């Protein structure tokens, strides 16, 4: 579904080149749950931003369903971000003074979804993530777990085929983190959505993933296939 071929990203800071991603080639299969792990500065977020169309490669290719992101126009990338991928952030990135349902409706406005459809779809998504009784509450008044559930519902608003989750449990306590991970697993298993997750917590990645990429200094140094999504500890 998603391929990176010799993907490199170089930033220039204070006149010096910083290689954030270094000649990476890898694949993300449709319907899979894939985690990317590594220490801070290893290139995890850069990789996710490139896949999400938020940044562009310095060299190499990124291919989504046969279409090269690195060759897309600005307008094509906007359409890609709007409909193909949904993003979940560690810090939630909600509009704090708006209600949960308003936050979920927001991306549908840019997608020209009708008013009635926006409201109905947002309500259904919030019910799916367990917030039926909280959809009219202001996001600033919600707990971290509730805010992240709103963020997941918002990421699903335009029916993306891929969810990109950047440290989705990083600001949550362990119990709430488990609930959020169970929700992402449900979206993957029962709705067929491809999930690509960035995390520094190897134990979580090992439990939920079909495949784990380990990054170090902008390179993939290990690829591990697992069968842990349904609670086993078997390594394939």
The conformational region for residue 165 under phi > 0 = left, psi -120 to 50 = alpha, else beta, is beta
- Cβ–Cβ under 8 Å, residues 193 and 158: no
Does 230 score more than 50 pLDDT?
A: no
Distance (Å, rounded) from C-alpha 138 to C-alpha 101? Answer: 9
pLDDT digits (tens, 9 = 90+) for 191-213: 999 999 999 888 889 989 999 99
What pLDDT is stored for residue 228 in this prediction?
60
Does 85 score more than 60 pLDDT?
A: yes
pLDDT digits (tens, 9 = 90+) for 127-141: 999 999 999 999 999
What pLDDT is stored for residue 175 in this prediction?
92
Confidence of residue 167 (pLDDT cuts 50, 70, 90): very high
**Proportion of the chain above pLDDT 70, given as a percent:** 96
Confidence of residue 226 (pLDDT cuts 50, 70, 90): confident
222 closest CA partner among 85, 170, 205: 205
What pLDDT is stored for residue 14 in this prediction?
86
The encoded tokens of residue 220 equal 């993939």
- Tell me how many degrees the CA angle 74-23-188 measures, rounded to the nearest 5: 65
Give the mean pLDDT of the chain: 92
Does 27 score more than 90 pLDDT?
A: yes
Q: Note the pTM of the prediction, 2 decimals.
A: 0.92
pLDDT digits (tens, 9 = 90+) for 183-192: 999 999 999 9
What pLDDT is stored for residue 19 in this prediction?
95
The encoded tokens of residue 210 equal 């079909």
Distance (Å, rounded) from C-alpha 52 to C-alpha 173? Answer: 27
pLDDT digits (tens, 9 = 90+) for 87-130: 999 889 999 999 999 999 999 999 999 999 999 999 999 999 99
Q: Which residues contact 136 (CB under 8 A, 6 or more apart)?
A: 99, 100, 101
What pLDDT is stored for residue 32 in this prediction?
95
198 closest CA partner among 43, 22, 30: 43
Ranges assigned E (strand) in the chain? 2-13, 16-28, 33-37, 59-64, 67-68, 85-89, 162-166, 194-199, 211-216, 219-225
Arithmetic mean of pLDDT, 150-161: 96
């Amino acid at each position: 579904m998603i391929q990176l071929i010799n993907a490199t990203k170089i930033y220039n800071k204070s006149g010096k080149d910083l290689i954030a991603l270094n000649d990476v080639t890898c694949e993300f299969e449709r319907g899979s749950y894939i985690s990317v792990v590594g220490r801070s500065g290893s290139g995890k977020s850069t990789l996710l931003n490139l896949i999400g169309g938020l940044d562009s490669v310095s060299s190499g290719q990124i291919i989504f369903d046969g279409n090269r992101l690195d060759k897309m126009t600005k307008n094509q990338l906007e359409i890609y971000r709007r409909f193909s991928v949904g993003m979940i952030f560690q810090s939630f990135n909600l509009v704090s003074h708006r209600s949960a349902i308003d936050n979920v409706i927001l991306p549908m406005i840019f997608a020209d979804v009708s008013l009635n459809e926006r409201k109905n779809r947002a309500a259904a998504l919030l019910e799916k993530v367990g917030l039926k009784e909280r959809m009219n509450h202001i996001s600033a008044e919600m707990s971290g777990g509730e805010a992240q559930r709103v963020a997941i519902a918002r990421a699903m608003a335009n029916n993306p085929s891929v969810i990109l989750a950047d440290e989705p449990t990083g600001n949550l306590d362990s119990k709430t983190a488990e609930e959020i991970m169970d929700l992402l697993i449900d979206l993957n298993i029962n709705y067929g959505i491809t999930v690509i997750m960035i995390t520094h917590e190897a134990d979580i990645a090992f439990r939920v993933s079909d495949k784990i990429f380990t990054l170090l200094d902008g390179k993939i140094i290990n690829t591990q296939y697992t069968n842990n999504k349904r609670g086993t500890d078997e390594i394939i």
